[in-house]
A and B are shown apart, each in its own frame.
Chain A
Amino acid sequence: MGDGRAGGANRPAWLQQYELVGKIGEGTYGLVFLARLKPAHPAPGRRGPPIAIKKFKQSKEGDGVSPTAIREIMLLREINHENVVKLVNVHINHADMSLYLAFDYAEHDLYEIIRHHREKLNAPINPYTVKSLLWQLLNGLNYLHSNWIIHRDLKPSNILVMGEGEEHGIIKIADFGLARIYQAPLKALCDNGVVVTIWYRAPELLLGAKHYTSAVDMWAVGCIFAELLTLKPLFQGVEAKNTPNPFQLDQLDKIFKVLGHPTVEKWPTLANLPWWQNDQQHIQGHKYENPGLHNIVHLPQKSPAFDLLSKMLEYDPRKRITAAQALEHEYFRMDPLPGRNALLPSQPGEKIVQYPVRPVDTTTDFEGTTSLQPTQAPSGNAAQGQSVSRSMPRQMPQQPMVGMPRVAAGTNMAAFNAASQAGIAGLNPGNIPMQRGAGGQSHPHQLRRKADQGMMQNPGYPQQKRRF
């Protein structure tokens, strides 16, 4: 892993293994860069694999490495799945106390793919691609959920899709900054002062549920499924800012309009949810009679696709379909069958959709400082770069953009001795081998002789119901 010691002029030594291309994203925590790993044996024209480097600034409050970064590292260091983004390295710059996560680079994400269809092609995403993307998303999510991880921030921009190369068209779930291990029930988002996009937020959370389950991720998948079909966010609520609570009336209203009002008959625990109880006239007031989901997504109500979608958008989180169940759904057994490369044309001979590459701001360096002159664009991508004259990408300052060249193959940089993703936890929460049968022979009472010598029992026993 990264060695943060300075390699001259306050530059950490690890920096030398990369060739910075430029900035590709900006968030609240810091910046995301595109770099290339320098090839082991440099030669003209030889280029290393592309790497996305997410930089975390030291938090302003003087509280060290941000908990977001810690969560992301902690989880990604343990997991390994084809449909989860691969953390290939972590680096530290001790000089300015910043932390860098290096990932396999993914050329696309669902946000850009959907936008390309909506704004450039004016055509829906082909059914094979939709189904393959959804299947892979569920496959990655099933892995996470079977490992007791809830993502909590699934939305199109956090779902990456690999560009050309050996992993072309493969989904990678990314952005684990809000993800949690839920061995114990999880506290609600507001308790942690976190704000996430409300459009993909499950109704139980909007109504103030105190605890999380993996069902919140499935709601988000339902919203994303609908968006893949229609190219528009399904529930585009207007966010109420500056409210201390998670209650978002407009978002709920958008959901109710499409799905009809939830009822205590269909969702028994609804009555216990704080905002359902408190805000009678607003939420329980209006009554939307005609649920019109099928009209919005243009699916016959009897079709398997519609059946799956409505099971994902089930109000009661306990009845909502799980990732494992969804993977078994009839929808995935009918033509077109889902495939490994979601971006292939659905029929032989059909034209392949050329999705734009990520715009790269080549004027920003790792420190986030912007140079006046664009740094040299990597050779050989000019043509493609120019074709990327799309409207302003998200969160990007108005600066010269250079497109990334198509990449040859996935990196095989095995920085971690990552486990083969063999065992997914079964239903043995303690993971204790419990086969019964023959076994131990000797008796614990033999230990008695050592008995009453100075024990130093700590009085650290927890109160009842304490979670460990």
Chain B
Amino acid sequence: MAANFWTSSHCKQLLDPEDVELVPAADRERGIMPEEFRLVKIHMSFHIWRLAQQVKVRQRVIATAVTYFRRVYTRKSMSEYDPRLVAPTCLYLASKVEESTVQARLLVFYIKKMCGSDDKYRFEIKDILEMEMKLLEALDYYLVVFHPYRPLLQLLQDAGITDLTQFAWGLVNDTYKMDLILIYPPYMIALACIYIASALKDKDTTSWFEELRVDMNIVKNISMEILDFYDTYKIDPQRGLPDDKISPVLNKLPAKS
């Protein structure tokens, strides 16, 4: 449970990649393609991350929020659950779960500040509070999420390469632009980040990996996915996706009621 990933709800809810990438029927009907579905999720992960910088919460809260966000869209459509509202609400809920509550009015304030010109991102406190309940329902009330950060630090220590911490940590942060957290155990994601980091920084970790007795094929697959992702999206870490790429997709969603 709480400290044991293997008996946790998180572990039981891990999905196959195909299920995660599936565009919800209602969104498909609106012409949203798998690639566009992915773009919205990347874009909104940035949105959550930027909002979190404003309200100043720990990395863990952001990670939990993004996990909620991605999990919601394995069950609900973007047409029904507006991602522009779901994203800040995920941050709101995650902040409560991770014991660092952010007030709804503060979120509303910073959203206005960040996206003032774009009406479609603006919501009232009431909208967030209503969505919070719908989120709880959509998440089936499973709120405990495990992240790669803790195993990452332990593994780096174990491997004696703590000088890679900052680099590998950044890689882990970036994995939340993908759906990996819904698919793989967090410590496998951590291992993949260590694998990449040690490759790029010329650290020989071969024998250390061999001794771990984990399935190296999975570690390598995750690593390839991460590198492919960098390859494909070459995203500006501060600004996220360019507006002309994301707006046409979001415009396919129903207008705010």
Contacts and interface: CB of A to CB of B under 8 A. Distances in A.
Interface of A: 1-4, 58, 62-65, 67, 70, 73-75, 77-79, 90, 92, 94, 97, 99, 147-149, 180-181, 183, 417, 419, 421-425, 429-448, 450-462, 466-468
Contacts of A430: 150-151, 154-155, 187
A446 to B, nearest CB: 7
Interface string B62-95: 1000000000000000000000000000001100
Nearest to B220: A442
B167 interface: yes
B206 A444 contact: yes
Contacts of A466: 58
Interface magnitude class on chain B: 35 or more
Given A90-B141, A432-B154, A444-B198, 16 more contacts: A4-B133, A78-B2, A92-B137, A97-B130, A148-B3, A439-B209, A441-B216, A442-B216, A450-B227, A451-B199, A452-B200, A453-B230, A455-B170, A456-B234, A457-B170, A458-B237
Contacts of A4: 133, 137
Contacts of B216: 439-442
A425 B58 contact: no
B159 to A, nearest CB: 11
B151 A432 contact: yes
B154 A429 contact: yes
Interface in B153-188: 153-155, 165-167, 169-171, 173-174, 177, 187
Contact of A64 (B128, B195, B199, B210): B128
A219 to B, nearest CB: 22
A461 B170 CA distance: 7
Contact of B49 (A77, A434, A457, A458): A458
A74 B227 contact: no
B22 interface: no
Contact of B174 (A94, A457, A467, A468): A457
Residue among A442, A447, A451 with the highest chain B CB neighbour number at 10 A: A447
A184 to B, nearest CB: 9
Given A63-B101, A437-B211, A440-B209, A1 B140 contact: yes
A109 to B, nearest CB: 24
A440 B4 contact: no
13 contacts: A1-B141, A77-B144, A78-B142, A149-B1, A183-B2, A425-B1, A432-B151, A434-B212, A440-B209, A440-B210, A445-B204, A447-B223, A460-B173
Residue among A2, A67, A92, A450 with the highest chain B CB neighbour number at 10 A: A450
Contacts of A445: 199, 202, 204
Contacts of B256: none
Interface stretch (B7-15, B23-31, B114-122, B242-250): B7-15
Contacts of B37: none
Contact of B195 (A147, A447, A462): A447
Contact of B59 (A180, A442, A462): A462
A453 B214 CA distance: 28
B195 A78 contact: no
Contacts of B155: 430, 432
* Main SS class of interface, B: helix
Residue among A4, A70, A79, A417 with the highest chain B CB neighbour number at 10 A: A70
Contacts of B166: 461
A431 B155 CA distance: 11
B60 interface: yes
A258 to B, nearest CB: 34
A62 B1 contact: no
B13 to A, nearest CB: 11
Contacts of A450: 227, 230-231
Contacts of B202: 445
A423 B141 contact: no
B196 interface: yes
Contacts of A431: 3-6, 187
A341 B1 CA distance: 27
Nearest to B167: A457
Contacts of A447: 195-196, 199-200, 223-224, 227
Contact of B213 (A421, A424, A433): A433
Given A65-B133, A439-B211, A444-B209, A78 B9 contact: yes
Contacts of B195: 444, 447
A180 B216 CA distance: 35
B252 interface: no
B205 interface: yes
A432 B214 CA distance: 9
A77 B142 contact: yes
Give the 9 A-B residue pairs with the shortest CB-CB distance, closest first: A440-B216, A457-B170, A425-B4, A456-B237, A444-B199, A148-B3, A447-B199, A74-B143, A458-B173
